Structure 1
């Protein structure tokens, strides 16, 4: 889990961003030092929960085992997964993430509604590392 990037569980799961008090720009991943808007003189940065839903802006699939430091078990066969760029409903920023397991590029279309849900990045006997995933609305 990346501390400070998301909060909650299940239906309360939300990505966390920051909003500049001067210009209203929203950032994800979060920004804690300065406003990244080049046209802004800067303001206070406030943590804000981001929209749970958005629309598919673009997508592709990952058909190769990525190199380190990405964690994969070399003993298991590689499972391709879909990557989705999602324009968040309220903030109108694009956030990239994996689709939930079982959703492939054949299931996706530009403009379809998706929602952010918790997912497992990796786990061992002592720890489960949590990340976010995108799931088409109406899919359990």
Structure 2
């Protein structure tokens, strides 16, 4: 888990971002030091929970094992997965993430609603690394 990027469990799961108090720009991943908007003179950075749902802006699939620092088990065969870019309308940002397991590119369409849910990036005998996944609404998993 990346500390400070998400919070909660189950229905209370949310991505955590930040907003500049001066220009109202929203950042994810969070920005705690300064406003990244080059046209802003800066303001206080405020933590906020991002919208749980958005619309699919774009998507693709992975067909190869990604390089480090992405964690995979080289002893297991590589399984492609879908990547989804979801536009959060209220925040006016696009957040990239994996689709929930079992959702393929063929199941997706631009404009489809998706919600953020907790997921597992990788696990071994000692540790489970948590992350977020995007799930098209109406899909269980």
Tell me which interval the TM-score lies in, with the shorter structure as reference length. Answer: over 0.9
Partner SS state of residue 133, structure 1: strand
RMSD of aligned residue pairs (Cα, Å): 0.7
Which digits, 9 at most, give the CA deviation of each residue in 1:71-99, with x for residues without a partner? 11111111000001110131120000000
Match of 1:40 in 2: 40
Aligned equivalent of 1:102: 102
Aligned residue in 1 for 2:117: 117
What does residue 63 of structure 1 align with?
63
State the SS of the aligned residue for 1:46.
strand
C-alpha displacement of 1:137:
0.5
Number of positions where the alignment pairs a residue of Structure 1 with one of Structure 2:
140
Structure 1 residue aligned with 2:88: 88
CA offsets 1:14-46 (integer angstroms, 9 cap, x no match) = 000000111111000000110011111100001
Q: TM-score when scaled to structure 1?
A: 0.97
Q: Hey, what's the Cα distance between the residues in 1 that align with 2:23 and 2:67?
A: 39
* Structure 1 residue runs without a partner (length 5+): none
Quote how far apart the aligned CAs of 1:108 are. Answer: 0.3
